[in-house]
Amino acid sequence: MVDQAREAAHRAASDAERIAWVDEQDRLLGSLVRSELRERGLIGRGTYIMLFNSSGELCVHQRTFSKALYPGFWDVAAGGMVGADESYAESAARELAEELGVSGVELTAHDHFYFEDTGSRLWCAAFSAVWDGPLILQPEEVLQARFIPIAQVMQEISEKPYCPDSLAALKRYLRARGIDVAKDA
């Protein structure tokens, strides 16, 4: 288990990263330090990578309690903020490798949408990948991870705290495939 000092150092480094700053139409305005973007309520770019196994189960993971947003919440996607000089696809590949130790897989792009919630304004790009190998969790960001059926995910979101931004990406993904998803589920 990662000690609190290591998580705090990781959080400080993360808050100091330069990330893409965009306008309401997702046009690049420049880059800002992550903490400044968040504090000023400006719009950034984020990626969401839904990782499935070949049985169609989705990888869900629990975030560490040192995360700035949604600490300790469950997440249906790996992902994060797009760096100052990254494309959405480059960010997605980096985040999947960092958080879950998965690299060299084909990423399929699915969606591009705007998301807003308390403390978060993002243009989002959603991807998916299939992986049957081992997961290597980033201890500063991920407490635990497991593959579960989509039906179980949809049940758990009413029982456990799940990140609303990645849930928006998942629900859009499922609706695009004709899978019924209750609007408020």
Mean local confidence (pLDDT), 19-23? 96
Residue 182 has pLDDT above 90, yes or no: no
In the structure encoding, which two tokens stand for residue 63, read together?
A: 């975030």
Domains of the chain: which residue ranges? 4-176
Residue type, 113: F
Positions of E strands within 8-163? 18-22, 28-33, 43-52, 58-63, 74-75, 78-81, 108-117, 120-130, 142-148
Q: Rounded CA gap, 79 and 61, in Å?
A: 11
**CA neighbor of 61 nearest in space, from 50, 69, 45, 46:** 50
Backbone angles phi, psi at 174, to 5 degrees: -65, -45
Residue 87 half-sphere exposure toward CB, CA atoms < 13 A: 5
How do residues 77-109 score in pLDDT, each as one tens digit?
Answer: 999 999 989 999 999 999 999 999 999 999 999
Burial environment of residue 87 by CB neighbours within 10 A (0 to 12, 13 to 18, 19 or more): middle
pLDDT of residue 118: 81
> Is 140 annotated in some ligand binding site?
no
Q: Rounded CA gap, 48 and 125, in Å?
A: 6
With a pLDDT cut of 70, the percent of the chain lying above it is: 91
How do residues 42-64 score in pLDDT, each as one tens digit?
Answer: 999 999 999 999 999 999 999 99
The reply to whether CATH 3.90.1010.10 applies to domain 4-176 is no
Mean local confidence (pLDDT), 4-17? 67
Q: Share the mean pLDDT of the chain.
A: 91
Residue 19 has pLDDT above 50, yes or no: yes
Contacts of 63 (CB under 8 A, 6+ apart): 70, 71, 72, 73, 74, 75, 141, 142, 143, 163
How do residues 126-155 score in pLDDT, each as one tens digit?
Answer: 999 999 999 999 999 999 999 999 999 999
- How, if at all, do strands 142-148 and 28-33 pair? unpaired
> Is 99 annotated in some ligand binding site?
yes
